[in-house]
Amino acid sequence: MSEARGTGSRLVRLCCLSGLFGSVLFLSGDMLFYGNRSSGGDFHAYSEMAGRPLVLLVIGGALGPVAALFSACGMGIFYLTLKSGGRKLAFTAATLLAVMMLIGSSYHAVFTVFGFASKVGDQTTRETLLAQVASLRDTISYPMYASGLAGTALVYLLGLWKKTRFPRWLLLFLPTTLSLASDVFRSLFVMIPAPIGGIVRGGWINGSFVLFFAIATRVFWRLEVDSEASPLRGGPVTP
């Protein structure tokens, strides 16, 4: 039993670290695309990408597939910590969120093409290309959002209504919820002064994932995964 607990604890730690590393890679790609030290109100992604060297745009997009693999593995944390509430539901939630991250690699890479289009000198041609690329991005986003929302709903269901190892308060930091709230916070983002306004606006979505996995790593680092018969709920178990 202790060996199984030790293996489970190591898997939780690996998932946390994998998710954190993948999220940092995604965020690094964002910063290569359009990260700057402007205020939130002065941040304009297309204008920033128009001045970026091609090599930075290419590297920024190429980070997406690598980041997605690590991030998808990180979603295993939801299965490991929620499975006592229902193995099948926990597995489905983790799988849906992993699918979201894998599709997200394509979504992320499309921003390299936005950068290419932003460099076109003729305004009419540039606007046409940007609209066409936006159409591709939006099409990719539909299955990504669908899998992400479904997986998030299952995480809330298990976390709120079942006895699991996942702390309820950590649900407040679910990255899918925080990233979707960017539209709600947009009016606040534009008020953030330099030098962090542009960073927050440009990196909010992937920054939300970095925040979640950083907190999860701290919370679960010393966690000893109990057997499924354990009725306890909460954070780390003190050795």
pLDDT tens-digit series, residues 14-33: 999 999 999 999 999 999 99
Is a pLDDT exceeding 50 seen at residue 238? no
The confidence band for 45, taking pLDDT boundaries of 50, 70 and 90, is: very high
CA angle 171, 177, 182 (to 5 degrees): 140
Tokens 């909460």: give the residue. Answer: 234
Residue 7's pLDDT is: 60
User: Assign residue 163 a region: left if phi > 0, alpha if psi is -120 to 50, beta otherwise?
Assistant: beta
What tokens were used for 192?
Answer: 């953030």
Tokens 């994998």: give the residue. Answer: 18
The C-alpha atoms of residue 56 and residue 59 are separated, in whole angstroms, by: 5
The C-alpha atoms of residue 23 and residue 85 are separated, in whole angstroms, by: 27
Residue 180's pLDDT is: 81
Is a pLDDT exceeding 50 seen at residue 121? yes
Residue 184's pLDDT is: 77
**Mean pLDDT of all residues in 74-84:** 96
The C-alpha atoms of residue 56 and residue 44 are separated, in whole angstroms, by: 17
User: CA gyration radius for the chain?
Assistant: 19
Per-chain mean pLDDT for the chain: 89
Is a pLDDT exceeding 60 seen at residue 232? no
